[in-house]
């Protein structure tokens, strides 16, 4: 399984910060197409989807990231998705 971190990287790159929210069995959704594909996969495989709408600048989101990652590892029968609300705004409006 992967690792899940929520600490800032020193160079401050947004893409690197967002990647740190992903680990374990968490799938990062970066487009509407990704979203649709993951939902189709979940439906096909009979999995329940847990979606985490988050942001790299959000303190509470950073605190929850490791726990979300742990949950994804403990419950592989569920599909855990991570959507950065600054990167993909389709679900936050």
Residue 86, domain CATH: 3.40.30.10
8-12, 15-19, 84-88 — most confident range? 84-88
Q: Is the pLDDT of residue 17 over 50?
A: no
Does the annotation mark 4 as catalytic?
no
Task: Tell me, yes or no, whether 77 lies in a domain.
Answer: yes
Higher-confidence residue of 22 and 51: namely 51
* pLDDT 10s digits, 41-50: 999 999 999 9
Closest by CA position to 49, among listed 91, 88, 82, 80? 80
Q: How far apart are CA 80 and CA 16, in angstroms?
A: 20
- Whether residue 23 is contained in a domain is answered as yes
Please, which pLDDT band fits residue 3 given cuts at 50, 70 and 90? very low
Q: Choosing from 58, 64, 71, 78, which is the catalytic residue?
A: 58
Residues whose CB falls within 8 Å of the CB of residue 43, separated by 6 or more in sequence, listed in order: none
Q: What is the extent of the structural domain holding 49?
A: 14-91
Catalytic residue among 18, 55, 61, 69: 61
Mean pLDDT of 14-41: 79
The residue ranking higher by pLDDT, 89 or 81, is: 81
Confirm whether 58 is a catalytic residue.
yes
36 within domain boundaries: yes
Question: Does a structural domain hold residue 68?
Answer: yes
């Amino acid at each position: 399984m992967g690792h899940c971190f929520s600490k800032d990287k020193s160079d401050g790159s947004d893409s690197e910060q967002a990647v740190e929210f992903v680990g374990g069995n968490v799938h990062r959704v970066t487009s509407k197409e990704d979203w649709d594909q993951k939902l189709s996969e979940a439906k096909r495989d009979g999995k329940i989807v847990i979606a985490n709408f988050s942001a790299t600048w959000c303190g509470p989101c950073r605190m929850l990231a490791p726990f979300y990652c742990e949950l994804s590892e403990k419950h592989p029968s569920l599909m855990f998705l991570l959507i950065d609300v600054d990167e993909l705004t389709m679900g936050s409006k």
